[in-house]
Amino acid sequence: MTPEGNAPATYAEDRPKLSSRDYDVVHDRLESWLAEQIGPGSKPTVSALQIPERNGMSSETVMFDGTHDAGGTSVTRSCVARIAPEPSAVPVFPAYDLELQFRIMQIVGESSEVPVPPTLWFEHSGDVVGTPFFVMERVDGVVPPDVLPYNFGDSWLYDASREDQARLQRNAVGILAGIHAIDRPADELAFLQLDRPGDTALTRHVADLRAYYDWVAADLPSPLLERAFTWLRDHWPDQEGPSAISWGDSRIGNVLWHDFAPTAVLDWEMASIAPREVDLAWLIFIHQFFEDIAIKMGLDGMPHFLRLDDVAATYTEMTGYEPIDLEWFIAYSAVRHGVVMRRVTERSVAFGEAEMPDDPDDLILHRGLIEAILDDRYDFHAGRVSDPG
């Protein structure tokens, strides 16, 4: 869809402005920058910028149509720019490696059938819009909503037939199978290796989460998450399966869909080298997280969807690899998400959208779910707290 109107930027005026960028300036600088990327005589023009209503949770997103002259022919591309957040925006993560995202999308696009948006240009410096950014082509599709979550009802996925829901689930597992099957020389994937202490990909992955938690918690530690890290150590898997390219944020809400098939896999900022189970468990857990909220609200939810045993069986059928200790990895996903949710909630407090609770563990939306896991009251296969306590 092409933005309407002549103003360089269009976005909801009543939403919290989590960025201090002047998007009119961004528009003009993007236009000048594109002239350098495309070349002399290209005379690019940029349409009114579209700023998504919920922009700013992670990298900022700017959408526009870019038109330029190519040998006398006018060429128009629908584009998306992903921009690293400003420090003043209380970013969710301590650092944003946009070059990593750009490179892994290129590799996935070149080496698999997994659909990713075509990457166009990358800007390392902050000279153009204040922070690094990259531009990719815009791909059509719809996403299962997060607000309100798709499993609450009245969403295209909830209202779909069981057959279509199963088709989307199978395609979601197929995305992971495709990513994990990519075989590139180790030196080409070195940029995905986490620079943390540890002898294995899993120990480095957990060490990276711990470092992130230490940054988030700062001078206000979370007793619950501290306890959770101890639980993870005490229940460590007896063996670690083979590592692969890990998407990192492998949830169905990070995929554009058409007719229950993926058109583009998005959001690669958490990509790394990790055991395959990291992605599989995250796919399962994020749905369980939404189901936990639905249950508390007295809603039916989608208890038949993205169940551990079904996902594992489909992945084994597709790859020949049987996932190991998925229960532990789902617990690990709950802890990973707990750290992220604490930062997201603190961010809401910083922008006046929420109040700071007396108990720092109340910053974690799924506190009860994590407590149930630690207290052995969680049924990983059903995705339910087995004993509400």
- CA atoms of 388 and 384, how far apart (whole Å): 9
Q: Which residue reads 């103003």 in tokens? A: 7
Hey, what are 197's tokens? 């202490």
Q: How far from 363 is each of 148, 209, 264, 286, 349, CA to CA, in Å?
A: 19, 18, 32, 18, 10
As beta bridge partners, residue 152 has none
Active site residue 249: yes
Number of other CB atoms surrounding residue 116 within 10 Å: 23
CA 335-340-344 angle, 5° bins: 145
Element (H, E) at 31: helix 23-38
**Of 65, 249, 267, 279, which residue is the catalytic one?**
249
**Cβ(361)–Cβ(367) under 8 Å?**
yes
Beta strands in the chain (DSSP E): 9-10, 45-46, 49-50, 60-70, 73-83, 119-123, 133-137, 243-246, 255-258, 261-265, 272-275, 378-379, 384-385
- CA atoms of 338 and 355, how far apart (whole Å): 18
Residues catalogued as catalytic = 249
